[in-house]
Amino acid sequence: MGIKHMRNFLLLLIFSAFSTGQLSGQVWPGDVNNNGVVNGVDLLYLGTVFGSSGPLRAEEDTNWEAQPIIEAWGSFFPNGVNHAFADCNGDGTVDEDDIDEAIKNNLGQTHDGSGLGDFNNGIPGFDIPVEFSPSLSFDEGDLMLKIGLLLGNETLEVEDFYGLALQLSYTSSFIDEPSFDFALTEDSWVDGPEEEHSVVLFEDDEDKGKMELAITLTDPTQSRTGRGRIGAFSIVMEDIIVGLIQDTFSIQIDSIVLINSEISKTAIVPDTISLILSEDLLILSNEASSTIQTPIVQTYPNPNPGQFLISADESIENIRVFNVLGQEVPINAHQTSSRELMVEIPQVSPGTYIITGQIAGTRFTEKVIINR
């Protein structure tokens, strides 16, 4: 046999091995990348093969147990996992049913495997950042707290967006059972609220204070380039805020990753936010009847031993400081210039404090760490 024939023979052997399904295995419905855990990253894998089809599984079943594959599909994810794993319910097609019946139902489930390596948190100042942008607004008569999710900025645009997955945690001293929602916004550069070219997976575990969010496009020939708002978390404030004097609420991204249509991962810098809410704020926003945005202020040094400067583009008013329990802390504050304030906290223990104030009538909150 000549070298050329030998090569063709070997190729044929390899092809046979793939096409007869010898690499088939057992699908845990929802664990699309077969790494041992069901999470938002599985939606991203599924999104890259959305609409594709292949052989049926032995049984159409999404129960959390090993489901045998009779015949593997003819194609693979970059990590070597067969595309049959994206057909979570085993009906031969990758579509929304696989998300609704398997990924959503089995979210958080684990089997053999570590689940490690799904996420890729970036380095501040180097990688593309994600940012929270809080606002209060009236939406069909309801007072809503909205926390916009922004990706990229003026210097770091996202060039090849196909999917984004995040895991978040939140703490609140006043919301017993907060119930969040997430939706793509009208001004989203990824897709609109109708989700014509995308799928959004959002789960809020109120007991644990954990949220899981994943957004994927559904046309593998498409990707997006852009920066700015993708969507927004929202929570109805009406029942929460009545009778509330002052309280804090914080939300942070624990893990995040961005992928392109080839499942090549990009590190993203996570964000954290602390908000102070009060009945005052409700009255204020009622009067203004519009969005309250957070203006840009700087506190320095931060951390500090109990004395720091706050500066902004305009004069700063009504400075107040609260501990993480939402209790107000006495301060001495005096103006060092028209746009700068020296704040001293005379009696304070080390920890995180929240500063609120107003700039040109707009409220802001800032976090400062006292380390003496």
Chain residues binding Ca ion by CB under 5 A are 31, 33, 35, 42, 87, 89, 91, 93, 98
| Closer Cβ to Ca ion, 38 or 237, answer by number | 38
Other CB atoms closer than 10 Å to residue 336's CB: what's the count?
Answer: 11
CB of 90 to Ca ion, least distance (A): 7
- As measured in angstroms, the least distance from the Cβ of 149 to Ca ion is 22
Min dist CB 200 to Ca ion, Å, is 18
Q: Are 186 and 87 in contact (CB under 8 A)?
A: no
302 contacts 368 by C-beta, under 8 angstroms:
yes
What is the sign, positive or negative, of the torsion defined by CA atoms of 303, 309, 311, 315?
A: positive
Cα–Cα distance list, 172 to 89, 133, 176, 324 (Å): 37, 18, 8, 10
Q: Rounded distance, CA 79 to CA 270, Å?
A: 25
Q: Which is nearer to Ca ion, 90 or 306 (CB)?
A: 90
CB of 71 to Ca ion, least distance (A): 15
Provide the pairing of β-strand 316-323 with 351-359: antiparallel
Smallest separation, CB 79 to Ca ion (Å): 10
Report the nearest approach of Ca ion to the CB of residue 184 (Å): 23
Q: Which is nearer to Ca ion, 73 or 202 (CB)?
A: 73
Nearest residue (CB) to Ca ion, 87 versus 366? 87
> Which of residues 93 and 260 has its CB atom nearest to Ca ion in the complex?
93
Q: How is the beta sheet containing 128-139 ordered, strand by strand?
A: 181-184, 228-236, 142-151, 128-139, 268-269
Q: Of 98 and 204, which has the nearer Cβ to Ca ion?
A: 98
Angle among Cα 227, 228, 230 to the nearest 5 degrees reads: 105
Note the helical H segments in 193-277. Answer: 238-241
